[in-house]
Amino acid sequence: MTTSSRVIEHKRIEEISSTRKIVIGIVEILIGLLIFFAFAANITAETLTKFVMTPGGIDQGLMADWILPSKTTLIILAALPLVIGVFQLIRGFKKWTNLMIGICALFLIFAFLVWQAAGMQLNLAGMLSSAVLLAVPITLGAFSGILAERSGIINISIEGMMLMASMVAAIVGSVTKNPWLGLLGGILSSIVLALILGVLSIKYKVNQVISGTVINIFATGLTAFISQKFLQHIQGLNNPQMFTRVPLPGLANIPLIGPILFNQNIFVYLMFVILIVLQLALFQTRWGLRLRSVGEHPKAADTLGINVIRTRYMGVILSGLVAGIAGAFFTLGSVGRFDEGMTAGKGFIGLAAMIFGNWMPIGAIGAGMLFGFADAIGSKLSLLGSAIPPQFMAMAPYLITMIVLAGFIGKGQAPAAEGEPYEKE
């Protein structure tokens, strides 16, 4: 690249960055104005909002309820995004931009809850606990995508892997009467699909988007056929034992945090264990450096003696393993039976969470929690007698997904060689 080309490219990047800074600043200011005029202006000064701070059915980690002055709280929540937006327009938050827009989104959500529950009460802790559970398949789907794409393989078949794992977990769990064996069966089924993806994408160099789409179609059709042919008529094949809550000694007694994070089923704990292991493995170990190198510069990695093909297979197989845990969650940790299409696009939303989190495990879990929270709010609206249809909030994760995929959060640092087949010279 010539010097003039570098100057032009640098100017183009600066223009995009400047435009994005202005757009995000305006959005943050609009969030503040929306909170004030749509919520705060319609509440009388004496109205109170009560938040119940202990999930129902929990007798550990009890906490006093919050009783907030609705109007004052909403005015504060309106002022904070305004300040953040003005600062964004003047100076910008640079690498913290995505975090700040996320915080403003949380202010908007909390303001909506304060306004919606004004003069009533809402079990906020119960909703947060539900949000953590709802975030599990999305976050694990994001982790699955990170493992594959960091090795250079685009895995859009996470949805199909999750769907297959949920069905197999239900069948194996029902037959054996053991949820652990059901979980193992679900994981193995998704690993098989991951191996198929690996063979198609790595060995035969099939377009990775096409091979992933084929696996999704195959999983959707096969699970629908087995469900209609057998599971709907033989209840003994679709009645697995579920993983129940397991309070962690000591930690479950922490007020608010304990019931939400440390009095959950095994899938929530697995999510956090995978987060820690994946973050450390990717960025603190030689294995992680090798995995990332074959996703960024496979030829350079090969020159240094790294087996690119084997490393990519490893990334895809581990991606399938995590997707299998995510799929088993639906039947063994949430619903207790398999239904057609029960993953409901969570695998695709997991990919959006991966992009939102910039292919980083910590960022992915933050995005997963945001999507889970939006789902949890939708389920609570009908209980509050809201004039807003709960279907509107059910749309929120998908709207956020489209915004993320449209690039509103900025250009992410995707692995440079993702989607490119490697040929050893």
Q: Which position has the token pair 């995005």? A: 367
pLDDT value at residue 404: 59
Answer whether 52's CB lies under 8 Å from 256's CB. no
238, 231 Cβ separation under 8 angstroms: yes
Q: Check residue 76 and give its pLDDT.
A: 97
Q: What is the largest CA-CA distance in the chain?
A: 75
Cα→Cα distances 369→175, 248, 364, Å: 33, 21, 9
Q: What is the dihedral of CA 217, 218, 221, 224, to 10 degrees?
A: -110
Q: Distance between CA atoms of 226 and 102, rounded to whole angstroms?
A: 41
- What pairs with residue 264 in β-bridges? 246
Q: Which amino acid, one-letter code, is at 239?
A: N
Burial of residue 329 (CB within 10 Å: 0-12, 13-18, 19+) is buried
Total number of residues shown for the chain = 425
80: nearest Cα among 106, 49, 62: 106
Give strand pairing partners of 263: 247
Which runs of consecutive H residues, i.e. helices, occur in 207-360? 208-226, 257-261, 266-284, 286-296, 298-303, 308-329, 346-356
Residue 273 pLDDT: 97
In a 13 Å sphere around the CA of 412, the CA atoms on its Cβ side amount to 23
Phi and psi dihedrals of 38, rounded to 5? Answer: -85, -30
Q: Kindly write down the DSSP assignment for every residue of 358-420, as one continuous string.
A: TT-HHHHHHHHHHHHHHHHHHHHHTTTT-SS-HHHHHTHHHHHHHHHHTTTT------TTTT-
- CA–CA gap between residue 356 and residue 412 (Å, rounded): 8
pLDDT in single tens digits along all 425 residues of the chain: 555 555 454 554 454 467 778 888 998 999 999 999 999 998 999 999 999 998 888 888 889 999 999 999 999 999 999 999 999 999 888 778 878 887 898 898 889 899 988 998 889 999 999 999 999 999 999 999 999 999 999 999 999 999 999 999 999 999 999 999 999 999 999 999 999 999 999 999 999 999 999 999 999 999 999 999 999 999 899 999 999 999 999 999 999 899 999 999 999 999 999 999 999 999 999 999 999 999 999 999 999 999 999 999 999 999 999 999 999 999 999 999 999 999 989 999 999 889 888 899 998 998 898 888 878 887 777 666 666 776 676 676 667 667 656 655 555 678 999 999 988 76
| pLDDT for the residue 5 | 54
Q: Give residue 411's identity as a one-letter amino acid code.
A: K
Strand spans (E) along 56-166? 66-69, 121-123
